[in-house]
Amino acid sequence: MVEIKTDASLDAMRVAGRIVAQALTAVRERAAVGVTLRELDLVARAVLTEADAGSPFLGYRPTWAPVPFPAVICASVNDTIVHGIPDDYALRDGDLVSVDCGASTGGWVGDSAVSFTVGRARPEDTRLVDTAFAALDAGIAAAVVGNRVGDIAHAIGRVCRRAGYGIPDGFGGHGVGRTMHEDPGVPNEGRPGRGMPLRHGMVLAIEPMLIASGTDDHYTARDGWAVVTSDGSRAAHAEHTVAITDEGPRILTQL
């Protein structure tokens, strides 16, 4: 069931979204060669604590997960696409990092992700990350009243495929509101004009995920959480929580 949010609810979600943006900004500023993923998680925890916000990630356990998620961010490095658990891995020069973060406050949730390189960026990684954000922008531009979920999916997929990148099967965006994952699902590839109509008050997490080699194949790591490219190629992930409004898309997870 899709909950249509009131304008007051959208304003309340904007508060949660701004906290997510602050956490991701702080994490990105802290990320450097030698810094561990666990340290980045502590940075995000400090931002949430300062804002008196909770984490929808910490303790989250969907039916397929062997254990509850133990952190407030997902930190996915190089060939890990999403759901990487922050550990004692120390970042190296040239690493490509994707960080996903959520915040809950006032009964509402925000969810966003960024990808970036640490130290000296390889040109091919810069192109991959830039394309992830271009796909996100395309998806957001299609998130307008009168369109359908398939229009968002098509816009994302077209950018990714034209650049020669893969799109991991079975992963995409979702509704956001009182919980982190709500209806409807938002695929990263699809046919325009199909799917649920977009209405004022719907809120969606739009999140392209790209695989550099062009394959769509992936597997789940032994920890039961991290999703990894099958061929070892690098991946990027970009995400915003976006409200559908009569005035156009409203990005809730930006500073």
Provide the annotated binding site: 83, 100, 111, 174, 181, 207, 239
Burial class for 255, CB neighbours closer than 10 Å (0-12, 13-18, 19+):
exposed
CA distances from 57 to 54, 104, 135, 153 (A): 9, 10, 24, 25
The annotation places the binding site for substrate at 83, 181
DSSP 57: S
Render 18-81 in DSSP notation, one character per residue. Answer: HHHHHHHHHHHHH--TT-BHHHHHHHHHHHHHHTT-B-SSTT---TT-SS---SSEEEEETTEE
DSSP 144: -
The annotation places the binding site for a divalent metal cation at 100, 111, 174, 207, 239
Q: Measure the CA–CA gap between 179 and 54, rounded to whole angstroms.
A: 12
Q: Measure the CA–CA gap between 131 and 137, rounded to whole angstroms.
A: 10
Provide the CA 224 distance to its chain's centre, in angstroms. Answer: 19
